Structure formats: C-alpha cells, structure tokens
Structure 1
Amino acid sequence: MVRRLGVPEELRMPPPHLLFQRACDRLGVQRLALFADDDLEREVEQQVAELVAQGCSSVVLQGLIELEHFLDQVGAECLRRLRAVPGAAGSQVAHQREGAGEGGVGHGTLEFNPFFALHLHITARSFRAPVNASPSGRDARAWVEVDLAAVVENARTVARVAGTRLLPVVKANAYGVGAVAVSQALEALDPWGYGVATIEEGAELRAAGITRPVLVFTPARNDLFDGYREQRLTPALGDGRTVADWIARGARGGAFHLEIDTGMGRSGVRWDEVEPLADLLDTPYLEGCYTQFHSAERNDGSAEQQLERFRLAVGRLARRPALLHVANSAAALKGGSFAFDAVRPGVYLYGGSPGVGLPEGKPVVSVRARVVAVRRVRAGDSVSYNASWTAARDTTIATLGIGYADGLRRSLGASGRAQVLLRGRPCPIIGLVTMDLTMLDVGDGPATVGDVATLVGSADGGGGAITLEQFAAWSGELQREFLTGLGPRLPRIYR
C-alpha cells in the first residue's frame, strides 16, 4: 500500500502536492492496484481513480474537495484508516517534482500514501494563495470576488487600442487575482503567451495545462537554467555573460528575450552598450527584446525618450528579433506607437486605473468582509490598540472579520477618510486596524452580526461603490500594491 519515493531533501513543496503531480505524470490509473490491500469502500477507490485519470486538469482541486466530503460521509472508520501525510514548511520549486525518483544519494524518503489526495486542498495553501471558486467562499469571514468576464473584456480593450497581440502579465498570482484562473480565461483571446516573475509561477501555469510561451521577467541565474528547460519557460537575459552561457547550451536552452535598460535602471543591458554584444546576439535563440517604462502613465515625454533609446539599441543588432515589446498597460492604451509585436498589460486587466486621460477598464475585484461583532460604546470610550480612537458621542461599533494579515494597512483608519459600505451606507474605519479585525463607526445606523460590508466594489445588494483606485489611495498604496497584498486567507470567488 505504501510506496517509498526518494525526494531531494532541499525540496520545499508540500509532499502531498509533489506526489500528486508525480502520480499524474507517471503512475497512471493502473497503479490503483496499490490500493488492493486495503479494505476500503469500492466507491472511494473509484473516485480516486477518476481523479488520477483527470491528470493535472483545472478541476482536480475541486474534485479533491468533493472527495473529502464523500469520505466524511463514509464515516469515522474509513477516515481512521487514512495514513498521515508529511507536511512541508515552505514553498517549493514545482518543476523539481521530476526529481522525485527512486532513492538516490543525498535523498531523503517520504511515505507515499495514495490517499494524500484528501489533504491536498489544505496543504496547498502553504505554497499558493488559495483560489477558491466554491460558492461556500461567501460563508467566510472575508473574501475576494473576481469577475473573469471583466478581465477578458479589459484585455480585449487593450488589444483593440494597441492593435497588436497580448502578452498578459500574470506574475504575483495575477496581481493577487489568481494566475491560473486568469490565464485560462484569457486563452479565448489567443495571446502570444504570458509573463511571470519566477520559475515557480511559470511551473504553476504549466501544471494547469497552459502550453503557450511563458516569459520569466526576473533576470535569469545560471544555476536555474535547467528549471527553464524542464518547464519549457523562456528566460529574460540582461548581461553578456549570462547570454553567452545560455547560448552555449544550444538546444538544451532554446529561445530567450533580451532586456534592454532604457532608463529604469534596475536590470538589463544599457541601451548604449548593446553594440559590443551584437555578434554574440546574432543567434536564432534571440526570440525577443523588451524594455520597461518607468513613467508610462505620465505625459512628461519620458516614455517617448525610452522608446527612442529602445529603437536605437535594437537597430544595432545584426538581426531584428521576432518579438519586440515595450508597452505596459498605460503605454498600450496610448495607441499603436508603443505597440510593436505585443503589449504587456498588467494592472489594467485587473481593474486598475491606467492613468489620467486613458480608457478606464471594467471593475474586476470586490473585497468583502462580514460583521463579526456589534457593540454600543459611550462618549469617551476608546477603540483599538493604543486607544487610537475615542468616541466623541454614543455610537455603534461594528467589527469586520478582516485585518492587516489579510492585506489592509494597519494605519488605514488613522486619516478618518477610509470607509466601507455597510447596508449601502458609507461607514468610516476607525482606530488602528488589527491583525484579524477592523472596526467601523456605524453611528445610529443598523448593523447585525453576519452583515456583509464592501471594502472595494459595488455594495453587496446594491447602493453605491468604492473603486479600487479610491481604496488604494486611502491606504496610501498603488493599486497593484493593494491587489498583490490581499492575503492568502481570503478565498477568491470567480464569477
């Protein structure tokens, strides 16, 4: 029943996920013979078989949750027979699951229990912010709602204005929205590929069945080259030594994109230092070149200056790469002058405002939290840590089940401007936001435990709205900063 798999000790992916991926890739349905020694319910075996047969499809996670519910119904005796599944302390490079072979020098061992499937949806939280599409998500203390149709419509707008193909940026779990769900929704628009920041993020897309090119924008390290190959990822290279080392791999490396620094000053070959590398870059492996604008949302001429530097740098190459791309959301929405062969929309896809005078996108994200406590306080009573707010009058305080551990700024209530919508009424956030809870001054208005407050989005049930731009401003954050800060405890609910 129990099979030993040698797994490198340095791996940090939760073993249930690691072993499930290996089961999907190599074990196959026929390995269910391993279950024969256990006198479990026939229907349990059948459901596990169906899950393995699905491979790495996007519905597997939901299927595992349904399987757990079924096992609960089977009864305590069945659950008692489940063997423990080892946990893991942190995140893990998903592509390294191929290293989970039989034994080997310097490898530890893990107990492989085929019923680790029961634990996957729990341990998955340790390596990826949850993507919970279950209707039960609204029963949580707080959650994030994502309108995928709006994401697609915003992407269509960018493509129409720019007049070229899309290279959607889905790094940082698609700015906290959910990289897998967003990428799968955008497949309908036939993008060139997707942009991520790390090998792990690219591996997540591959595991979800995304086959288009995936460009990893963080400058590549030589010691991670094998990871790009294993996951069929395209690296961004930005210095001569790394380019030479990548090209030396030949077909074991493959395509790469050259980053050209035109003023961002963070990584890439300087625009005026490309010519000495021209001979080295005269290779079919150079698939693309790109740059990053530092202030595309401003009308100060800086983007145009960077664009001219980029053109000069590319002109010094022996051959023009197939894919030139420079435009982020703001530049792409300025029209075709920044378009080239693809544009890289990011925050605009997720409902962020691209800048003054540019087309506004459809709202994508709503953040909601339930009232978990209601109390009446008297004039002079204090609220929150450091007695950071004092009631000027008798009033009602409603406490929301969301705090700074979920992505809110601790100082959000300090200015007296930040508010949420409760029963369609704006109610100010008061005092310091605590780790798990946030307090509102409801005044003499109604509030009941279980009521739903809206922090971002249209009020639950109608009656006003708070934009992402407005709430981020109250928080003293960029819109993308607020989105990526939404914590893993908040289920994402897709509609």
Structure 2
Amino acid sequence: MTDFDSDPSPSGDFDVAPVRLTVDLAALSDNWREMQRRSGRVRTAAVVKADAYGLGIEDCGTAFYEAGARDFFVAVAQEGVTLRSYAPDARIYVLSGIWPGQEQMFFENDLVPVLASEEQLAFWMSVVSEHGDHPCALQVDTGFNRLGLSFEDALALAGDVSRPAGFSPVLVLSHLHSGDNPASPLNRQQLELFQQVSAAFEGIESSLSASAGIFLGPEYHFDLTRPGIALYGGESVGGMMPLKPVVKAEARVIQVRDAAAGGTVSYGATHQLSRESRLAIVSAGYADGYLRSLSGSGVPIRTGGSSGAFGFIAGHRVPVIGRVTMDLTIFDVTDVPASDIRTGDYIELFGPNMPLDDVARAAGTIGYELLTGLGLRYERRYIYPE
C-alpha cells in the first residue's frame, strides 16, 4: 500500500526544507512486480537512467534489486559504475555504448555496452580481439531513426562468419517509437522487422518493449522487457491509468498575503485579480524543475489551451496565478479557509493528489520531463518497504 505519510517523524532538514520529495520505494517495488507480472514468463529489467528518472539511482536501484530485478539499463557508463555497488551481481546495460578510453571502466565494473553504430561495433571488435571476451548487446533500428544498426547491417552481421570469436552479444534490442499509441499500425511494422532480426541472431536473447510495449501483449515481450516510466508512477500509454504513485513533490509556503481586487500578480502583470484574494507564495520555481510553462498566464510558449497548473493544500486544488519565476510560484488560496493554511505549510506540486501527468499536461509536456528535471534543492525522504 502506498503511504506518503507513513513516517511521522521526518528528519529536521526535511521538516523545514524549502522544497522536498517523498519517494515511496515500496510503491516503486510494487510497480516493478506488476510490470513483471504483465511481462508473463519473460524476465523484467529496470531502467534507471537519468538518476532513476530523477528519484535517485542508489535508493531506487537498491529497491529494484531487492524486489528481484537482475537486469538494469542505464544511459551512460558512470551511471552503471554507481549502480554496481547497489546491484552487485546484476547485468547492467549501458545504452549509449562505449567510447575509446572507457574500456577499463567497463571491464572493472562488468558493464555491458549496447553497440548502436558501425563505428562502435568496429571499436568493440578491436577491444575484444585485444582483451578477450566480454559481453555486449546490439541495438537495431527498426524505424525510430535514433540509435541502432540498420536492419540490413544487422542481418549481415548475423550471418558474418568472420567476426571475432570473442565477439559474443548477449542481447539484441530495438525500441518502439509509437508504443504509447496501441492503435498505431507502426507498432506491428516494427514488431515484424524485429522478429526477423531476432530469428537471425538465433540463440541470443532479444528485447523490444519498454513500458508501453509491455501493454501491447506477449508478442512484443521476447526474452526481456525494459520498463521505465511505469515503474516511477508515470503514464506509459495515453489514456491508461498509471501504476502506483511513487513520488510527492512539495514546496513550503513562505507567505500568505491579502491582495486587492484589480491588483496584478507576478512578472509582466499578466494576471489581474477579479476579487479580493489571498495568495500563497511558495518556495519553488523553474530552478526546481517546476516549469515556467506551468504558469497561470503570460507564457505564449505553452499551447493546447491549458490554463496552467494547480497545487494541492488543505484538501483543496488551488491554481497557479501569474508567471512561475526562478525560485517562487504564487497560488490563489482564496477558497481555502483561512484557518487551514499558514506560513510554513507545504503545498503538493505533484503526487498522490496532483497526478504527475496531469501537471505535465498543464505544462504542455510529459511526466518524464518533470521527473528528470527535478532540481538539486529538493530534500529527499525515502519510504522503504517494511
């Protein structure tokens, strides 16, 4: 059960922090188990790139490992080095591959480079010729036009009997570009191409599906699934309810002030008050990843008709008014009883009462960006499984 209030005695720093995060590692572990269940009989990895989507690779990696994950994906080698201490016997794949000068780092930390270009492949061939066998993975492009060997080059490599004996890929993978739209016919096109790649690399495990692909069904699962955003409580498929919420972001109320009807609010005077109002000034802004596009007004960069974000305090949804600034945001708390809110209280920016993706949509973006853009000023509290 997710419980963001299970620790009634947080640290002193947490209790007075200007901005703070509560990360429910029990919910995180439950979400991994749920994605494992949905993956059926195949293994389920955990994607912990970008500092575990902004929530902390050390604590999140430990939670996934203790839940049973033994395959992990990171973006860059240094993330893999950090993770190794917390997942001692796991297989850690580095999605950006390997560069000259990183050989020792990969060998000493038993990291698996994901080779995604002819240049990386040629370099890796020379590395294993000199240093001996070490596992690698191959990424194949099936329509994303991002990273990966071309479909034709991958098939040619599979049939190349002259490749070095020490070249021993343990995984072939690709990535769906429209998995979040189950109705897209392009998912089937990518699947059929990848089925050919998988068959060509007979005896080597295959992986196609991240979070969204898992929901497309068993055909897309192959040998290993790679959930990411779903583990952290974000939406992976449009219109589908996410799994358990994992993170709550809060900001402290610095001041509650009265403001007269007709007055203006924040930079540019883009919001004019239509009534006698009470305003809560809170200590979070775009330097904390609370995006400027969440402003209640005055941000032409936002499209789609959103009126801006809301926060949650004392049982009420309260709107952002005026522009979000670097360190401060202003909420209209006129409809919250005066006795229910005071200086020093905390307002929920996103969390169990303000769903991550609802807030992201208000900014014209996605939950991934809010999580990975969290600033350095957040004091963190982790709720561990019992």
Both structures adopt the same fold (TM-score exceeding 0.5): yes
User: Between Structure 1 and Structure 2, whose CA radius of gyration is higher?
Assistant: 1
The CA distance in 2 between the partners of 1:177 and 1:390, in whole Å, is 37
How much has 1:359 moved relative to structure 2?
A: 6.0
Q: How many residues align?
A: 355
Residue 269 of structure 1 aligns to a residue whose secondary structure is coil
How much has 1:273 moved relative to structure 2?
A: 2.4
Judge conservation of contact 1:297–1:356 (CA < 8 Å) in 2: yes
Judge conservation of contact 2:284–2:327 (CA < 8 Å) in 1: yes
1:379 matches 2:282: no
1:240 matches 2:240: no
Aligned to 1:483: 371
The CA distance in 2 between the partners of 1:171 and 1:253, in whole Å, is 26
Q: 1:454 to 1:224 in 2, by over 3 A?
A: same
Cα deviations by residue, 1:235-285 (Å, 9 ceiling, x for unpaired) = 011233422331332345611000000011011111122233231557552
Cα deviations by residue, 1:303-325 (Å, 9 ceiling, x for unpaired) = 221111112123334x431x211
- 1:270-309 pair list within 5 angstroms: 270-278=150-158, 279=160, 283=165, 285-298=168-181, 299-309=183-193
Residue 47 of structure 2 aligns to a residue whose secondary structure is coil
Q: 1:475 to 1:397 in 2, by over 3 A?
A: same
1:434 matches 2:328: no
Q: 1:426 to 1:273 in 2, by over 3 A?
A: same
1:315 matches 2:195: no
Q: Which runs of 5+ in 2 are unaligned?
A: 1-9, 298-305
Q: Which runs of 5+ in 1 are unaligned?
A: 1-132, 459-464
How much has 1:211 moved relative to structure 2?
A: 3.1
Question: With structure 1 as the length reference, what TM-score do the two structures score?
Answer: 0.68
- 1:76-475 pair list within 5 angstroms: 134=11, 136-163=13-40, 164-208=42-86, 210-250=88-128, 251-252=131-132, 254-278=134-158, 279=160, 283=165, 285-298=168-181, 299-317=183-201, 319-321=202-204, 323-356=205-238, 358=240, 360-413=242-295, 414=297, 415-443=306-334, 445=336, 446=338, 447-458=341-352, 465-475=353-363
The CA distance in 1 between the partners of 2:225 and 2:373, in whole Å, is 25
Aligned to 1:15: none
How much has 1:411 moved relative to structure 2?
A: 2.8
Judge conservation of contact 1:145–1:365 (CA < 8 Å) in 2: yes
Q: 1:401 to 1:241 in 2, by over 3 A?
A: closer
Judge conservation of contact 1:333–1:359 (CA < 8 Å) in 2: no
Question: With structure 2 as the length reference, what TM-score do the two structures score?
Answer: 0.87
Q: 1:377 to 1:289 in 2, by over 3 A?
A: same
Judge conservation of contact 2:308–2:363 (CA < 8 Å) in 1: no
Q: For residue 338 of structure 1, what is the amino acid of its counterpart?
A: Y
The CA distance in 2 between the partners of 1:135 and 1:162, in whole Å, is 41
Aligned to 1:493: 381
The structure with the largest helix share of the pair is 1
The CA distance in 2 between the partners of 1:335 and 1:189, in whole Å, is 23
Residue 281 of structure 2 aligns to a residue whose secondary structure is strand
The CA distance in 2 between the partners of 1:258 and 1:209, in whole Å, is 23
Cα deviations by residue, 1:184-235 (Å, 9 ceiling, x for unpaired) = 1111332232100011111111244533111000133234333222322110
The CA distance in 1 between the partners of 2:133 and 2:272, in whole Å, is 63
Cα deviations by residue, 1:387-442 (Å, 9 ceiling, x for unpaired) = 22221222111101111100011131225342111211111101111111100111
Aligned residues with identical type, % of pairs: 34
Aligned to 2:302: none
The CA distance in 2 between the partners of 1:417 and 1:432, in whole Å, is 10
Residue 273 of structure 1 aligns to a residue whose secondary structure is helix
The CA distance in 2 between the partners of 1:310 and 1:209, in whole Å, is 30
Judge conservation of contact 2:293–2:364 (CA < 8 Å) in 1: no
The CA distance in 2 between the partners of 1:192 and 1:390, in whole Å, is 55
Q: Which has the higher contact order (CA 8 A, sep 6+)?
A: 2
Output the aligned Cα RMSD.
Answer: 2.0
The CA distance in 1 between the partners of 2:120 and 2:229, in whole Å, is 30
The CA distance in 2 between the partners of 1:328 and 1:246, in whole Å, is 26
